[in-house]
Structure 1
Amino acid sequence: MREQSIWQRFETDDVIWASRSLEWTLAAIFAVTVPFRWVVWIIVGLYWAASVIVRQHRHNKNMLSRFNMVMIPIDVFLISVGIHITGGFASQAFLLYTLDLLFLAVYSSIFWAAWGTLGILLAYALASHGWNNPQFWWRELILGFLGITATALGLSMRQTIRALYNSSLPMEQIQALKSLQESVVKLSSLPAVVQTILQTGLQLLDIEAGYAAKWTTSGKLKLIAQIGLDVEGEWDPRESYELPALTSLDITYFKNLASHESVKVGHGLLSRGYRELVLVPLKDGDQIIGILAFAGVRKKTPLNDHRVILEGLADMVVNQIRFEGAQANSLKRGRLLAVLERVGRIVNRNLEMETLLRSLHQAVADELETDSFFVALTLPNDPGHILMQYLYDEGKEYPPEVLAIGPGTPTEQVLLRNEPLLLRDNMGTSQLTGSFRVPKSAIFSPLVYEGRIIGAMSVQSYRIDYDDDHMEFVSSVASQAAIAIQNAQLYQKTESIALTDYLTNLGNSRHFSLVLRSAVDYAVATNTALSLLLIDSDSLKQINDRYGHIAGDTHLQILANVIRRSIRDRDTACRYAGDEFVIILPETELNEALRVGERIRREMDGKFAWKDSMIGATISVGAAEFHPPMTAEELFAAADRAMYAAKRQGKNRVAAG
């Protein structure tokens, strides 16, 4: 823009130079008929020599302008000399003064044009010596009138040119900003784009320094890019010049920073000699997302007068920040979808609860730094307790455990509000994990299936602070995990039904086969004892024949209850077939197994009552101990032989195989 203005001015200078050339050429022609014409020719020769020198430096667009201005007083002096030597008042050369009056109007303000006109009038008076001639005063009046008229016309011309220039300036600025917008599209990173915007801003504003910063979630400004300053990292706007712009939501202008109270974060403005500073808030709607600043030495035109440029540059920076945010969100969403797809594949292919939760923990740990992880499930009809189904803390897995839900605990808040919870540096005294350490940060997310809360999932860290992005990730995983956990619970329920005897609620024969093989493998691997009891009712047929099958079923249920009361939690009792029951006793030698069988036999001996009648019901028990390299089938066969031996010996007894 400045180059175009200078070029227009240069064309005006060119016209004035040509007019002066014509002026002195006419003077040389006029001097042919007057005495002392050689003086005029010398003056004309010197002028043309100077003109040739100036014309050889046309690349310097200010040189011709300076030449024309310097020549005005020289013109007046030389014209006055010419008038004096060519007849004084009788000389017609005074007409040449009119050209210099025009030149004064072009180059000078009203003040200097008035003084210049007065100087021309005085110069003519001294050169003509026509004080006593009334015509002299008439000529002075005409020259004065011409000077006033030319000055007024010059002022009007300059105002018109300035108005045209100012009206065209916004369009030129908009065009420059449009070109800038087209160029930054090719750049990829936000700092590179903002750096280019700053460089263009410095050129358009004719200023020395600039910077741009983003507003962070921690309430600080973070540098994006800078030119000509010492800005770096993050800083608190309350300790810097930016605070007024962030609170007023409008452009803030410091005409002289030295006159303002110094701030802690001055960005090196004063040390570099910068006194002028303009701050433009970066606004995304009604929200402030950053600041754009330009600084430098004070110019004739204040920086805040360039509102079109400042707001245009600020809008471009805002658009780039928006674009970067949208791009980052898109990438984050894409990555999250990919992770969730992988998590979905992992958790949905596991229906066994323990394997499912271990796989879920691993999937989360692959994406998020996790020191502790748990999945707690609600208990039907018991809102005050929760089943800690899976708990991992500092490298150790803990067994499932029913725990009371403490009032005000994070788990209770999540279950009541059905909303995820992020805790950082304010964990209170809740003992959240197996090691009873208080984590640095933790995320809790509800497990919701078809609108019903079935539990809570939590990740915790002793080292880092989680943020909102981490919470969004955990919540997304929890939404998938809830479906998988519900499927696993249904699978467990279905499997339990398939492995449970409908009449006694003990395991069935399939359950017995699975547990026995596992128990044999464990005994071999750990070199521990293993015993098996096979129990057969001596009285079921007689009860069925005499009292019916309902009485027989009751007899079997009583036997199942006696067995259940007589064994340990780690033992397994199953109804094998009809009136036969089996008990697997891990880490139990034969003598101890015989004592268990005897305890059950005594409790069942003759104690079955039906409709006020006591029936002499008894059982026979066979016991066998595992000895490698026996198989599960061989161990069962040994117990079966012992049971039949007890029957042959008269029933109602325990025999060893």
Structure 2
Amino acid sequence: MEKEHSKPESNKSNKDFKSILLNKILELQGSSLDAKEQIVTLINFVQSLLEIETIAVYANFVNQEINLVNSKSGAKQHALLGAMLETIAEQIDASQTKYHNSLIPLSELNVKKLSEADLNTYVYPILSSNTKQLYGIVLITNPKLINLDEEKKILLFVLNYISKIMEEADLGNQVLTKDYRLKLLSKLSNSLRGILKPEKAIEIVLRELYNFLKLEDIYFVKWASQERRLEIAQEIVLEKNHSLKGFTHKASSKNPIVKLLYKNQYLTYRNKNIRKISRVFLGSKQPSVFCILPVLIRNELLGSIILVSSSPFSSVSNEDLRIAQDIAGQLAVILNQANLYEESLSTAQREFLLNSITTMIRDTLEVEGVLEKTAREVGQVFGVNACGAFLQKEAESGFTEKSIWATNEEYKNKVALLPINTVDSPLLPDPIAQSIAIPDLLSHNFGKHQELINKTDCKSYLACSLNKGNKTIGILVLAHFEQQRLWTSSEVQLLEAITDQVEMALSQAELYQHVQQTERQMNLLHQVSTAIRDSLDLSTVMARAAHDLGETLGVSRCFIRRLRSINPLTVLATEQEYLNKEQNIDKAADLILEFEQEWLESLNKLPDVDRANSTLHITDVPGRYKNSKNLLGIILETIKIKSFLGVPLVAAGQVIGSLCIHQCDRNRRFTQNEIEFAKRVASEASVAVLNADLFTKVQYQAQRDSLTGLFNHAYFLTALHHETERAKRTGSDLSVIMIDLDHLKSINDKYGHKAGDEAITLVAGKLTQCLRQMDIVARYGGDEFSALLPETKLEAAEIIAKRILDTLNRTIHPQWGPLNASIGVSGTPHEERNKEAIMKLADDTMYISKKEGRNRVTSSRILDNLGSIDQKPISREKE
């Protein structure tokens, strides 16, 4: 502060006061002092001249501030005046003449808690007479020499002169500023000339504003009118933790901020709405500067520029903001030109890509091909790091078909990791908007999905849903990993147009696949029907049918069960074919699951006509039985089944089996067409089982004796032929035992033929009991039986024959007593491997047993002492 001038004598006249002031003003005009220094000098001089207790000046002009308080009563008054400043300034309306060159008593203003001293305080607004701009306020307390009008005029003269000093300085600065503005805008215009990429234009403007205003942080906020969203797309920040890139804020067109932006007005922190939005962007951080500049052209809001600083030394003048607003206007022009260019370029790209996809539709009739070509073509045209086409076949299973194109394998794997397979995924497009564009994926908070998204390191993401009617069936994803990408509205529209074409391609491909699948199903049914007609080998027919059905439906396991009975459930046989050998865990088809058993047992309660249509379909087996702690839970964990389809095999109204399908790689809801196809295969399989059972019955009747159930004479001779031929080839042994029931005629005569039949049946049972399963026992005729013993030498056959005789003798009937039999035995290596010779020797030795007194065993070795067989007069004919 300059040295205070000596106090003039109090008895000086008003004329002397005027003279002294004029001389002082002339002195200041001729000095080298600037406007601020002249004002401070005059304030000090007039305070002393008019004996003012306190005089305070608060002013801001030409980017300069004056905060001057001269008080004779200490700092308390200084603090009081400073606290009143903002309240007083808010009440001064520069457009009203009463505030121009006037001393206004403080008591006339709405200031709370005034002290007695404040009642003698006056306010002088420093106003521009031309621009009606408020430069500042002068507060005067307890002036002793202005009670008369003349003294007051002198004071007003000085204060008015101070206003003129500020106004002239401001006008001079405006001339300089306009010149600087023209130079700055010219420089910026040259820098932006030819720029057609929005990102580059925004970067240049932000850098120019950053250098011009010397603030900490500058942000460009994009206005997405369709989504009603403000989103920070680019920024220049002093410190990394100031970054807000990717920050979004939902705001309707009725939002006060948006409405003000549409008026093309810059907004400062004084506006209460700006204070609110600053808290949205900055949280609890209190900025010293927070301004918003609209980027607007022809009433179309493209975005806004936000200027932020938290430094107490930062400030932005109104003139600076006007320059910044002009710069924002230039940016709006460039962005509009860039958008028009991109739209024209995108139109050409759209035509090219749509034509390409149309050609693809004509050339590709498989879903996999459509997905693969779509991912590759779209990824290359959009210039992204990766593009994925994902398709959902069942509602519960997520995206089961996919094709991913990427510039390298790493990006391909990262796209596959994106969490898009759950209904609550934040990366799925909104059902109404049908698309989602995220320029800065990593800056968002996606809750439980955030960790997985961070692992992918995907920086920008764009996706469009694929629809079939009102149902979403897939998604087309663009991912960029190298740097962030600001998706334009034309790019989003292009991707939406592409998805329309892809949906058509998929519909045609699905129709083609449906035709092919129907053809395969018809071929399979024809093959099964033909196999049933041409083959009576049930196991082969069933195994082939299960394999072909599983392959046609693309399942993990498919098998057909034949049941002996349902209640209790007994499995007769299982014909199984596995498509995935790794999933053949412990022969899963041999396990009857608890829910499957309940289903099969419940079929008996249904009317006959309903049994064939009663299928069991479980889309999520682990989910339904997740709380099972018993054996079922262990089995499900072992065989890894996720979906189950069961179809009964019904013949003549009875359940004779089941067709079972397991899906192990995913949850699957089988379509009605697939279920109907499985039912048709099951129907054909039922016919096969019925035919096989009928054939078995006829074959049984042709090969078996109706009374005893043993093989008959014809089957025995056929078996003898096959076994002797095999013995010749392999050098193995072979024996034959002939058994004749003694005294059958006596039993028939004495007790009747029914008793005779009972005796024959009793002998048949004992023979079956004494012989091995591999041996063939037959009723040779009448009361004679024969037994063919493969892989058996004569010595062993003799032992077996004696065991048979002993068993018969110990079988005592209450009417006729014990059973007796005459038995003959022949076999190798004692005999040659000749069916006629072996059979004749067994027959002859049996006759010898009868001749020698019955109820005995005779071996062919006894004939060695009788010479050649042809010379032995012991045949039955000579008895």
Cα offset, 1:284, TM superposition: 1.3
Name 1:316's counterpart in structure 2: 501
CA distance in 1, matches of 2:771, 2:619: 46
Confirm whether residue 234 of structure 1 aligns to residue 421 of structure 2: no
CA distance in 2, matches of 1:367, 1:556: 55
The one of 457, 472, 494 equivalent to 1:288 is 472
Cα offset, 1:639, TM superposition: 0.7
Structure 2 residue matching 1:351: 3-state secondary structure: coil
Give, as a single letter, the amino acid of the residue that structure 2 aligns with 1:624. S
Cα offset, 1:431, TM superposition: 13
Name 1:644's counterpart in structure 2: 847
Which one has more relative contact order, counting CA pairs under 8 Å at least 6 apart?
1
The aligned runs of 1:30-45 (5 Å cut-off) are none
Give, as a single letter, the amino acid of the residue that structure 2 aligns with 1:234. A
Cα offset, 1:287, TM superposition: 1.9
When residues 614 and 289 of structure 1 are mapped into structure 2, their CA distance, relative to the original with a 3 A threshold, is closer
Confirm whether residue 419 of structure 1 aligns to residue 604 of structure 2: no
CA distance in 2, matches of 1:373, 1:279: 38
Name 1:654's counterpart in structure 2: 857
When residues 564 and 222 of structure 1 are mapped into structure 2, their CA distance, relative to the original with a 3 A threshold, is closer
Name 1:32's counterpart in structure 2: none
The aligned runs of 1:129-528 (5 Å cut-off) are 185-188=361-364, 189-191=369-371, 194=374, 198=378, 213-216=389-392, 218-220=397-399, 232=412, 234-238=416-420, 243=426, 245-252=428-435, 254=437, 257=440, 261=444, 279-292=463-476, 302-303=489-490, 312-339=497-524, 341-342=526-527, 344-346=529-531, 348-353=533-538, 356=541, 376-380=561-565, 383-388=568-573, 408=594, 418-419=615-616, 446=647, 448-450=649-651, 452-456=654-658, 465=665, 480-528=684-732
CA distance in 2, matches of 1:248, 1:619: 91
Q: Deviations for 1:593-635, whole angstroms, at most 9, x for unmatched residues?
A: 33433344455459776xx753786432111113464322322
CA distance in 2, matches of 1:384, 1:554: 35
Cα offset, 1:376, TM superposition: 4.3
CA distance in 1, matches of 2:686, 2:667: 22
Larger fraction in helix: 1
Give, as a single letter, the amino acid of the residue that structure 2 aligns with 1:514. T
Q: Deviations for 1:563-583, whole angstroms, at most 9, x for unmatched residues?
A: 233323332221111111112
Cα offset, 1:500, TM superposition: 1.2
Contact 2:713–2:779 (CA under 8 A) maintained in structure 1: yes
Question: Which structure 2 segments of 5+ residues have no match?
Answer: 1-296, 300-347, 582-586, 603-613, 861-879
CA distance in 2, matches of 1:440, 1:607: 56
Cα offset, 1:407, TM superposition: 6.4
The one of 788, 795, 819 equivalent to 1:584 is 788
Contact 1:198–1:227 (CA under 8 A) maintained in structure 2: no
Contact 2:427–2:436 (CA under 8 A) maintained in structure 1: no
Question: Which structure 1 segments of 5+ residues have no match?
Answer: 1-108, 112-171, 396-400
Contact 2:763–2:808 (CA under 8 A) maintained in structure 1: yes
Q: Deviations for 1:204-239, whole angstroms, at most 9, x for unmatched residues?
A: xxx999956324465359765779999745343459
Structure 2 residue matching 1:377: 3-state secondary structure: strand
Give, as a single letter, the amino acid of the residue that structure 2 aligns with 1:317. V
CA distance in 1, matches of 2:565, 2:784: 34
Name 1:544's counterpart in structure 2: 748
Q: Deviations for 1:232-285, whole angstroms, at most 9, x for unmatched residues?
A: 4534345999836545442345586489617665999996xx7xx764422212
Calculate percent identity across the aligned residue pairs.
Answer: 21
When residues 594 and 321 of structure 1 are mapped into structure 2, their CA distance, relative to the original with a 3 A threshold, is same
Name 1:614's counterpart in structure 2: 816
Name 2:737's counterpart in structure 1: 533
When residues 419 and 349 of structure 1 are mapped into structure 2, their CA distance, relative to the original with a 3 A threshold, is farther
Cα offset, 1:329, TM superposition: 3.4
Contact 2:747–2:816 (CA under 8 A) maintained in structure 1: no
CA distance in 2, matches of 1:460, 1:279: 34
| Superposition TM-score, scaled by structure 1 size | 0.54
| Superposition TM-score, scaled by structure 2 size | 0.42
Give, as a single letter, the amino acid of the residue that structure 1 aligns with 2:390. K
When residues 383 and 516 of structure 1 are mapped into structure 2, their CA distance, relative to the original with a 3 A threshold, is farther
CA distance in 1, matches of 2:554, 2:752: 65
Structure 1 residue matching 2:506: 3-state secondary structure: helix
CA distance in 1, matches of 2:441, 2:550: 55
Q: Deviations for 1:433-470, whole angstroms, at most 9, x for unmatched residues?
A: 9xxx9556698855613364323467899xx9488699
When residues 250 and 575 of structure 1 are mapped into structure 2, their CA distance, relative to the original with a 3 A threshold, is same
CA distance in 1, matches of 2:575, 2:794: 36
Q: Tell me the number of residue pairs that the alignment of Structure 1 and Structure 2 aligns.
A: 468
